[in-house]
Structure 1
Amino acid sequence: MKITREMIEKSYEYAKKVYHKQIDKTSAANNLYKEVGMHQGSASHYIGAFCSMMQGEKYTRTINTEATRYYLENIHKDYGVEQLRIALKAVNQHIDYYGKLGKGKLRSIEKLLNEYKTQLGTRGAR
């Protein structure tokens, strides 16, 4: 099933709630399924990716480029530039992890990361 823009936006809202301990991950995933038809497994991966971004930690399940862009834009808007830098570190670690799996590269996400690095200057994401 294709992940829609509506699913991305709603998953971001629920991921924030999970991150701030306002709801548990399973309930959030179930709500995403009920509200926008997002499969619970996908919902769980998207929520996990957000939480990893907020902590600057590698995530191992890929979210699509549109979702990555939406999450980064909104982390910047909601939490500021320093939190964005932390999130970019997580994205960078995810790209490195995925590249080492031998399944190819995440070219569109790499391009997105490089856009942010350029916007933020050389201190960007590494």
Structure 2
Amino acid sequence: MITASYLYAKKVFHKQIDRTSATNSLYSEVGMHQGSANDYIGVFCSMMEGNGYKRTINAEATRYYLENIKIDYGFNQVQIALEAVSQHTIYYGKLGRGNLRSIEKIVKEFKTQETVSM
């Protein structure tokens, strides 16, 4: 589901398909609930724009999205995506429901990798 959601999110971001069609396709093709599909697409778009987001995707999906943004779009774009994820973890932490430690760890790993790569 994560792989499919990433591929459809890219299409939505690049305006190759509308969001409703993408969420419906994710439901029919891989059984992803339409609400979740919509959230995953929204998170990808926020990552690409560097905007913090409010809906949470799991750590595995966060890692997959960041890895593939790096592969597909390069160093500068993954830096923008990392900023969005960082903003999200700060937002979530302020809600009083705990922190997203596993996602914070992923952000730290990516930032460390990027520092070493420079």
TM-score of the pair, normalised by structure 1: 0.91
Structure 1 residue 53: Cα displacement: 0.1
Partner of 2:89: 95
Partner of 1:78: 72
Gaps of 5+ in 2: none
Aligned length, in residue pairs? 116
1:110 and 2:104 matched:
yes
Gaps of 5+ in 1: 1-6
Which whole-Å CA distance do the structure 2 matches of 1:17 and 1:107 have between them? 30
| Structure 1 letter corresponding to 2:45 | C
- 32, 48, 63: which one pairs with 2:26? 32
1:58 and 2:58 matched:
no
| Structure 2 letter corresponding to 1:49 | V
3-state SS in 2 of match to 1:121: helix
Q: Pairwise CA RMSD of aligned residues?
A: 0.9
Which whole-Å CA distance do the structure 2 matches of 1:11 and 1:47 have between them? 7
1:13 and 2:7 matched:
yes
Structure (1 or 2) with the greater helix fraction: 2
| Structure 1 letter corresponding to 2:60 | E
| Structure 1 letter corresponding to 2:18 | D
3-state SS in 1 of match to 2:28: helix
Partner of 1:3: none
Which whole-Å CA distance do the structure 1 matches of 2:13 and 2:90 have between them? 24
Percent identical pairs in the alignment equals 70
Which whole-Å CA distance do the structure 2 matches of 1:117 and 1:88 have between them? 8
Structure 1 residue 117: Cα displacement: 1.1
